[in-house]
Structure 1
Amino acid sequence: MNLDWEALLKIVGIDIMLGVDNAVVIALACSALPHSMRGRAVMLGTAGAVLLRAILLVFAGYLMGISYVKLVAGAYLLYIGYQLLMDSDADPEVASHDTLLDAVKTIVVADFMMSLDNVLAVISAAQSAGAHSNAYAIAGIVISIPIIVFGAQGIMRLMDRFPVIIWLGAGLLGWVGAELMISDPLLANYLKGAQSSLGEYTHLSYKFAGFVAVIFSVIAARHMRGSA
């Protein structure tokens, strides 16, 4: 068959743009590991995440119409942001095989949750390829993998130098989690009511609330842990 370069370029572009948050997850999950273990965790986590994302391509249209799916996925992303930030002050030298597996599991599960909307965007971009749309979607994801992996490694280096990025990354997970939650079919009627008072800033307000919720819940938890 003749390659539809337009569809392929659109898919890769979407994956790169949407892959920024996935790169942040990988970097956060691996930031507490010793440098010698980070490369292995990135590769294992990315491989597992890509496999699940390919499977999700097949079922994405069905899953997106089910109430509670995005709600649960979004809430879980808020929890991951909280958990990773709480663990970010751990001593990397105590990392063991168990923490490597935990990092890989976090990458795979978080990427799966974040890919719910990503996959739909990729499928939409692939429609021009007709009967081969799924093949194009998978090819686009595979092509974008090195960019996401190297992006995660670059973010980790920045985190080592500027620890505040860890906080911003965890807040981003809260932002994306809230974005997923408010797009759940269950909240459609509620958001229509909220828009009457918040207007065009409705969605931005909820996403910002997710960002702030992760940051301040960690500050509160650390304060209570320190005063205990």
Structure 2
Amino acid sequence: MKMVCLLYFFCEVRTMQRAFPILVRARAWTDYSTVVPQSNLQYDEEERQRGGGLLLTISAAALLALWKIIAIDIILSGDNAVVIAMATRRLPKDQQNKAIFWGTAGAVMLRILFAAVIVFLLNIPFVHFAGGLLLVWIAYKVLVEREEEANVRAADRLLKAIMTIVIADAVMSLDNVVAVAGAAEGHLGMLALGVAISIPIMIFGSKAIVRLMEKHRWIAYVGSGILAWTAGKMMAGDEGVLHWLHLSYGPFVYVVAAGVTIVVLAAGYITNKRAEREEGTLI
């Protein structure tokens, strides 16, 4: 699904160019705050004479571009909702909402930042491999994480959950940001608006997953498996790794992803069973 979405939105570049024909582009990455789609602001003289002042009109093409940004962000954020749910499932009820809100807010801020420097990020050698390794650890930790001991401060648990959400989302969003940035055609303001609109959907989606995990404990393994599969694909699909091994993106990537998933789930299952015997509790 992610690859289909990426291909679709890269094919839409020309459509976006027609949607913003008079886009004032910045000369440097740091100047993106000055980018203004002037074609979307029209001063209607008749409206001014009637006392209406400046008339703001939004073209159908601009609305279509915004809808595409929102749609792709929602489609590609399914894994991220799983991250949020996994990271907050062990928190007390009164802290879950705080962790979800602040974790999502931090993740969204990083997405917007990534969009501004995405070319630089994707040119860093083995960046996907390193991110995949980090995600493997996160997939394991969120699966085996148990109720914290009584002497651990609630604030520490909340901060840990927020940091887990932000870091995991950042790792998983590199490719997502490429697609969203392509749909935005370099317009950081439009990208930020689209991402902001999709925030409530991510929040409610993660809350729904948390509720399912509370009723069906085995769903935690499904969530961890999704993260581990994503991590394996990131590691094996890194261009530096494929070049070093003289391979192309194909069966090798999926074999590695499957292997990583099996190892993480097996390790998590063994750890949880050992903890059950020691503590007499179920996850």
Shorter-chain TM-score range: 0.7 to 0.9
* Aligned CA distance change for structure 1 residues 66 and 91 (closer, same or farther; 3 Å): closer
Q: Cα RMSD between the aligned structures?
A: 2.4
- Number of residues paired by the alignment? 219
- For residues 277 and 121 of structure 2, the distance between their equivalents in structure 1, rounded to whole angstroms, comes to 44
- Tell me, in whole angstroms, the C-alpha distance in 2 between the residues paired with 1:68 and 1:162: 37
Q: Quote the residue 1:19 is aligned against.
A: 77
**In the alignment, does 2:216 pair up with 1:216?**
no
| Maintained 8 Å contact 1:34/1:92 | no
Question: Per chain length, whose mean CA-contact separation is higher, i.e. which structure has more relative contact order (CA < 8 Å, sep 6+)?
Answer: 1
Asked whether the 8 Å contact 2:228–2:261 carries over to 1, the reply is yes
Partners of 1:79 and 1:215 in 2: CA distance = 12
Q: Does 1:186 align with 2:240?
A: yes
1:182 is displaced (CA, Å) by 2.4
TM superposition shift of 1:117: 1.0
CA pair 210-11 structure 1, distance change in 2 beyond 3 A: farther
TM-score, scaled relative to structure 2: 0.71
1:203: which partner in 2?
Answer: 253
Q: Tell me how far 1:201 sits from its aligned partner.
A: 3.2
Counterpart amino acid of residue 117 in structure 1 = D
Q: Which has the larger radius of gyration?
A: 2
Residues 110-144 of structure 1: CA deviation (Å, up to 9, x unaligned)? 111111111011112222xxxx5222222211111
TM-score using structure 1 length: 0.87
Quote how far apart the aligned CAs of 1:177 are.
1.0
For residues 121 and 183 of structure 1, what CA distance do their matches in structure 2 show? 17
Change (3 A) 1:91 1:163: farther
Q: Deviations over 1:130-168 (max 9, x none)?
A: xx5222222211111110000000000000011111111
Identity %: 35
Match of 1:49 among 107, 112, 118: 107
**C-alpha deviation, 1:208, in angstroms:** 2.0
1:176 equivalent in structure 2: 230
- Report the CA distance shift for 1:135/1:177 in structure 2 as closer, same or farther (over 3 A): same
Whole-angstrom CA distance in 1 between matches of 2:216 and 2:273: 22
Aligned to 2:120: 62
